[in-house]
Every structure is written in structure tokens, then in C-alpha cells.
């Protein structure tokens, strides 16, 4: 098992009417030349958590931070903050489980590790209030 130090949250830009999951994102990532879906987990609009790349495998979601992180992607985000309450509840539960299981202390959004607005909200501040 690789050493895990952080959880990085992303969004998959999609309109509220779009129901995307790990298989959709896998196809997008394969078309871009990735070996597989880059995220370890995807949280669909209905708040279902889908497994992507196995946690023991390095992700492909945050350049320079993939080797020691777990990537979680929320369906939605733009053009407005369109995550549901239940998606955020699933995110909270997933982060809590992973942080406990792997003794992870650092939780942030993609924007904390790259020049990006992803996932459209301040994950560090959100996580601190939980």
C-alpha cells in the first residue's frame, strides 16, 4: 500500500440535468490518454459513491500530488454551485471514513494544489466546520 497523506476534492463540470458517474469520467480520461479514471471515488448527483481507481493505485487528478493522495470527484459544480445537500453529506461521510482508515489529516480542494477554481468552494474551510 502506498503512503497516503491527503484527500483532494474535485468537480466534474456538469449541468444539474446531467447524471454522470465513474464510467462517464473513465471514458473522458481514457480519451485524454489516461490509463484509467483518474479519481478514486466519484459522488453522483443522487449522492451515490462510486469507486474508481483502487486506492492502492496512484491517482491521476492533481499533478504533483497524486502519489500520496486520494482523489474524490463530485458530479456538478459549474456553472453555479449546484451540489446537493446529499452529495455534500456523502462527501463528508466518505472523507471521514477515508481519513480514519488511512490516518489522513490533510483535506483540501484541487484549488489548494493547482491554479484552479475546482471544486468551486473552499474545501478546507468547509471541512474545518464539520
pLDDT for the residue numbered 14 = 81
State how far the Cα of 62 lies from the Cα of 6, in Å rounded to an integer.
11
Q: Kindly list the domain boundaries of the chain, sorted by start residue.
A: 6-128
- Inter-residue contact 18 to 75 (CB < 8 Å): yes
- For the purposes of burial, counting CB atoms within 10 Å of the CB of 119, is it exposed (0-12), middle (13-18) or buried (19 or more)? buried
In the DSSP assignment, the letter for residue 18 is -
pLDDT digits (tens, 9 = 90+) for 29-83: 999 999 999 999 999 999 999 999 999 999 999 999 999 999 999 998 776 778 9
CATH of domain 6-128: 3.40.80.10
Of residues 11 and 78, more confidence is placed in 11
State how far the Cα of 83 lies from the Cα of 78, in Å rounded to an integer.
9
Phi, psi dihedral angles at 112 (to 5 degrees): -80, -10
Amino acid at each position: 500500500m502506498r503512503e497516503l497523506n491527503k484527500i483532494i476534492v474535485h468537480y466534474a463540470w456538469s449541468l444539474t440535468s446531467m447524471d454522470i458517474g465513474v464510467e462517464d469520467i473513465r471514458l473522458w480520461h481514457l480519451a485524454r490518454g489516461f490509463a484509467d479514471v483518474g479519481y478514486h471515488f466519484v459522488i453522483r448527483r443522487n449522492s451515490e459513491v462510486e469507486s474508481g481507481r483502487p486506492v492502492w493505485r496512484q491517482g491521476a487528478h492533481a499533478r504533483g500530488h497524486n502519489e500520496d493522495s486520494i482523489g474524490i470527484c463530485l458530479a456538478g459544480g459549474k456553472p453555479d454551485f449546484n451540489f446537493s445537500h446529499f452529495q455534500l453529506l456523502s462527501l463528508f461521510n466518505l472523507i471521514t471514513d477515508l481519513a480514519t482508515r488511512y490516518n489522513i489529516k490533510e483535506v483540501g480542494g484541487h484549488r489548494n494544489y493547482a491554479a484552479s477554481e475546482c471544486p468551486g468552494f473552499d474545501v478546507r474551510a468547509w471541512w474545518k466546520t464539520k
